[in-house]
Structures are given as structure tokens and as C-alpha cells.
Structure 1
């Protein structure tokens, strides 16, 4: 695997240049080594042992990657999640800065005629990766999403920035019981994330990741208008840490949760993709054509694509990180200001170094 690793004090990130996936992320903090990102168990297995029609993005399935479009590429021909998730990236620049490291990568292919850059920034003693993607030129419109994945040995507990509601699509990911299983109701909707309709009646708590529930589920959370950053926090029980994923809701107004816990029985999954959670912040519906056409999110006033144009740049930012956590409860409050992130859970409060200007909260978004 052709990878490049960038480093700053207390953090390193490796990029798989064949597909642009984050192959690894290591955070050294309080005498511990945290690894918040997941790699599929088949990564590195001989290609001949995997299904021949498997997209390269699934062959290399790791960490986080850019989806453009998200899901089906049914406007411009490309594999699932588009060329940014399935084809090679070049290193344009990678060097130390006065306070960390900055690297720029460029997709070898174009998307809707646009060139695509990935800009990764690490800061000394910040337990976060700061990402920006920039589309230059092109025509038409493109849906986008990040696809960070984490995994757990013994489940975990989630918390979120305020959401308007959560909704499942019309059909589950694995409707055929001979191939897999699911637990949520499809379609269904609830403004109460602790009581979402379940497949067999009753409700499920979307904040509770349980290892005894073998399932493959997908659900979209729509951000509320709260004026702050959008965030997801996952307290991983066995790992005793807190995984944090942040966005600017004006850029990426939805968060899609992909629960993959032994819910697929066919290759290469084979029931071995266990304890995985995708936290997929996006500006998208499911599929490129749906995103740029009429869809249920647009009818709710939610943007599902960026408009591209000659001489125009479109960019969006995203943050992934982790900190040690004892007690297993995620924060109920998260704020950022003056170069710090402040977290509160129960009766305890703590803070960590954070670039509080990076997400550009409150600035107008084009497209």
C-alpha cells in the first residue's frame, strides 16, 4: 500500500494514496496511544481472494474518505461514492509548519470537470486532524460527504449537537435475511433520538451502540438551527476514550450514521465487520441524481449539493479527533472559543487545545 504519514507533536495521520483514505490516525495523549479510526479486516488480503467486482474504495476501506458523490454515481460514471473514494491522489505539498504539519493532495481524476484538493493540517499538541476539501472549476452540482469510521470492542455511548429529527430511508441496507439483518424500522422518523422506531415494534436509542445487536443500519440526522458547530461524540467503553467528529452545519447539514455490526454475511464482510460506526457528515441525499434533483431533504429546506462553476472554488471543512475519557459518558455540551474546546458531561468539565476558527461558523457558504 502506497501511504504517506504526516506528523505533529502528539499526533500522526497516514493516507492511502491509492484511494485517498485515511489509513491510520494515532494520538499520543496522557501517556496513552489512541486510535480512533477503523480499517476493514480484509484490507491487505490478496486481491484475488476478494470479489472481483468490489470497488477499490471497499477493497481499501479505511478511516475516513471523501465521497463525491455520496452513494450511487448515477450522473457521471464512477464507482460507489465516486472517484475521490476509489482512485489515486498525488502529493502536491507536504511540509512542517511553525506549529505542526500541512499536506495537500490532489485527485488524479476530475469530478464533474472539477479538480479536487484534500488539505490536511495537524497542529502540535492538538488531538485533532483538520481537513478541508476544495473543488475548483467544473460544472453542474456535486453531493459530498465525509465517511469517518470508528470501531469498538465493547460498544459505546453517543451524544450529538442538537438535531431536528432522524429518518431512515424507504428500504434497509440488507433487506434479504439470507444476506444480512437490520434492527431499525424503514421508513421511519422521530424527533426523539432516544426512542426511534424499531423493526419489530418498540423503539431503539440511537445513542446506544450495543455489541449484542447484530445489524446493518443507516439513518440520517438533520442538524437543528442552533448557531454552533455540528458535532458527534462517541464514548468508547473498552477503549476508554472519546472520539469527536465536528463540522460546520452550514456546509454539511446532515449526519448519517452507518451501524455495521456483523450485519452482512456475504464476502468480503462475512459477519466479521464488527463494532463499526460510520459518522458521515454530508451535503447530500442518497445518490448523485437524487441529490441534485427533488428529494425529501430539499423539501425540508436542507441543501443536498454544491453548485460547481468555471473560475469558482467550493470548499468545506471537517475535524476528527480523540481524547482519553474515564467514566464512559460523552459530553452533553461542547463549545469552542479562544483556541480551546470546552466539554461538559454530568458534573465534570474539561477542555482541550482546538483551532476554534477553523470551521468558520457563521460565515456565508456558497453553493
Structure 2
């Protein structure tokens, strides 16, 4: 069995057990089926890919756990570590009084730690509630979720308050023979609507435009605001709202990966378009960088989890129908619901487990 699907009223989730990637999330709402997560075009195409590619790239889908995030240069493993590239087993998979709960275990260990993935669905909640638990092990490891969504015609973004956004010293695709980028590297700003662009001028990080063919990566640091960290993406053509939430104490950074036809080499081949990674983590780029001295630590931001006992962190992904193409200006959770406030001040309440993120 390569996949397992769990269901509750109004939502289903499929996990690819070969690599621990979520192959599909489907939310049933207002007579529509919303599919907020992306699956790379080559995964189901039967293509012959390079044997040098990590399994996580070969089967790139939905969301997965990175541990470490990016290069595994302390303990030998592929890009984003064994949780994103190797098999998981089903530990339990059963109905609950209000939905469904499943537990999966990584067949390998990470720095000696056992890793469990826990999925919870609640009836009539349009969200996947996730938790990852590291038990035992030694040393420290960075970690991040890696949800990816895709758009046919771009979309608009909104976020919980951020201290600043910054790019790395070097872009993801510095060689123009292989790809392209639009942001300046390195650069930094507190105004997400005016991020420095390569060659001058600025770009609006809250506006995903399909004409901007690029491969860009940016790190945003959460501000101290006392609520959940969140990203909301209003997808134009899909007429929905993709929501990703975290506890900022556990996962203090949100990394955005703009992948819109910016890589010309296989398997990307200019066809990986309209994709946005919304990667909440406790990480710098690379395991060694995350546990050593790095620019985020110098800003007072934690970039790794210390292993040895039990370490866990939680994350939420969901989707709602929305036709106006505008994300909320604010999001709050309390008393078993989520309240979204629109630009015009109107509010919308949605069923949500407000205790889950433990903010």
C-alpha cells in the first residue's frame, strides 16, 4: 500500500507513504471540492527521471516534514532529510467521536530520534490538523513544514504580523542558463509590499503574478503579536482561500518559495508554474547552518529543536470557498471557531479547533 486516505465529514486527506508527502487534501464546501495543495506534474506522468534526484523531488507533493530543512550536512540524508524522502508506516488509523485520527511513523530515525506524524480531522472542519513528534535522539535538528499550493492565474496573499522579510546572500538560480529570479539577493525590508527587486525597483510579496517567471526564496520572521501565525492566499481562478497556520513559538519563521517557471532544467523544465511554498519552520537553510551561528540567531530567532526527550510542533492547512480574490486583513481564533475579517470590515466565522495550536 503506497497511500492511505483518511476522511471526516467534509474533508479527506491522502498520504504518500513512500516519502511522507501529502498527495491530496480535498475539502467539500458549498457544493464544491477544493484542492488547496499542489502535486508536481511529473509525479503521475510515468516519466523516466534522473536517478540522482532525491525521492522527495521525484514524488514532490502537497506538504511534507523537512528535518532538517534543506541540506542534510550533519547526518547523511537527501535534501530535506529522511522524513521527506523515505517510507512511513501506519501506526493507527481510526474514527474518533468527532472525526478521524491517524498516526504514522518514519521507518528511519533522525539524529537517533523516532518521528511520528499525527493527522487529525474533525467533522465539518475544513482543516487538516497535524502534529510531528520527535522522541529520543541526541543533538539538534532544524525542521519545517513544506506545504505547496498552485494557481492557474495567481492570487493575493496576507499574513499575520511579521518583523521583516529577507532574502539569502545568493538566489536559488544564479545561472541564467538554468533559470531566473526577480528579487534582490541579499535584501531586507519590513514592508512586504515593497521588497527590493533585482535590477532596481520593488516587488509586492502579497501579489503572486503569473507573468513573473522566477524561482525566488524569502524568509519572514514572525512579530510578537500573541496569536497564531498565519498565511492566507486568495487564489483567483480557483476562487478559494488557502489557509496555513502555526504556533510562532514553535515555528518562528515562514519561508516563501515562488516557483513559477523559473527553472529550465529537468524535471522542472519551465513547467512548474504558479506554485507557492508556504514553509513554516524553525530553521536556517541547511542543518549545519541551523545549529551553528547564523543570521537568524543573531536576530534572536530559534533555528533548531534540541533532541533528547519528546519534542513536538503543530501545524494546520485548510481551504474555504471565496470568490472575491481578496485575502482577509485579519484572522483570529477562539472558542472553537476562526474569525476572518475582510478589507471592508465584514466578518466570517468558520469551525476551528482553537486549542490545537496552543498559542
- Distance apart, 1:346 and its partner CA: 1.8
SS in 2 for 1:58: helix
TM-score by length of 2: 0.99
- Distance apart, 1:209 and its partner CA: 0.0
**1:90 paired to 2:89:** yes
- Distance apart, 1:109 and its partner CA: 0.1
User: Partner of 1:38 in structure 2?
Assistant: 38
Mark the runs of 5 or more structure 1 residues left unpaired by the alignment: 362-367
User: Partner of 2:125 in structure 1?
Assistant: 126
How many corresponding residue pairs?
Answer: 358
User: Partner of 1:179 in structure 2?
Assistant: 178
- Distance apart, 1:171 and its partner CA: 0.3
SS in 2 for 1:125: coil
TM-score by length of 1: 0.97
The whole-number CA distance in structure 2 between the counterparts of 1:103 and 1:22 is 13
Which residues of 2 match residues 237-252 of structure 1 at below 5 A? 237-252=236-251
- Distance apart, 1:85 and its partner CA: 0.1
The whole-number CA distance in structure 2 between the counterparts of 1:152 and 1:96 is 33
The whole-number CA distance in structure 1 between the counterparts of 2:343 and 2:296 is 34
- Distance apart, 1:46 and its partner CA: 3.3
Which residues of 2 match residues 343-358 of structure 1 at below 5 A? 343-347=340-344, 348-358=346-356
The whole-number CA distance in structure 1 between the counterparts of 2:109 and 2:323 is 45
The whole-number CA distance in structure 1 between the counterparts of 2:3 and 2:25 is 12
The whole-number CA distance in structure 1 between the counterparts of 2:46 and 2:11 is 30
Provide, for residues 154-212 of structure 1, a one-character-per-residue CA deviation record: whole Å limited to 9, x for no partner. Answer: 00000000000000000000000000000000000001100000001000000000000
Regions of 4+ moved over 3 Å: none
User: Partner of 1:73 in structure 2?
Assistant: 72
The whole-number CA distance in structure 1 between the counterparts of 2:144 and 2:327 is 24
User: Partner of 1:316 in structure 2?
Assistant: 313
**1:146 paired to 2:148:** no
Which one of 337, 340, 346 corresponds to residue 340 of structure 1?
337
User: Partner of 1:23 in structure 2?
Assistant: 23
User: Partner of 1:300 in structure 2?
Assistant: 299
SS in 1 for 2:296: helix
**1:235 paired to 2:234:** yes
SS in 2 for 1:42: coil
Cα root mean square deviation, aligned: 0.7
SS in 1 for 2:135: strand
- Distance apart, 1:71 and its partner CA: 0.1
The whole-number CA distance in structure 1 between the counterparts of 2:248 and 2:273 is 30
User: Partner of 2:206 in structure 1?
Assistant: 207
- Distance apart, 1:44 and its partner CA: 2.4
User: Partner of 1:225 in structure 2?
Assistant: 224
User: Partner of 1:13 in structure 2?
Assistant: 13
Provide, for residues 95-136 of structure 1, a one-character-per-residue CA deviation record: whole Å limited to 9, x for no partner. Answer: 010100000000000000000000000000000000000000
The whole-number CA distance in structure 2 between the counterparts of 1:45 and 1:136 is 37
User: Partner of 2:276 in structure 1?
Assistant: 277
- Distance apart, 1:332 and its partner CA: 0.7
SS in 1 for 2:249: coil
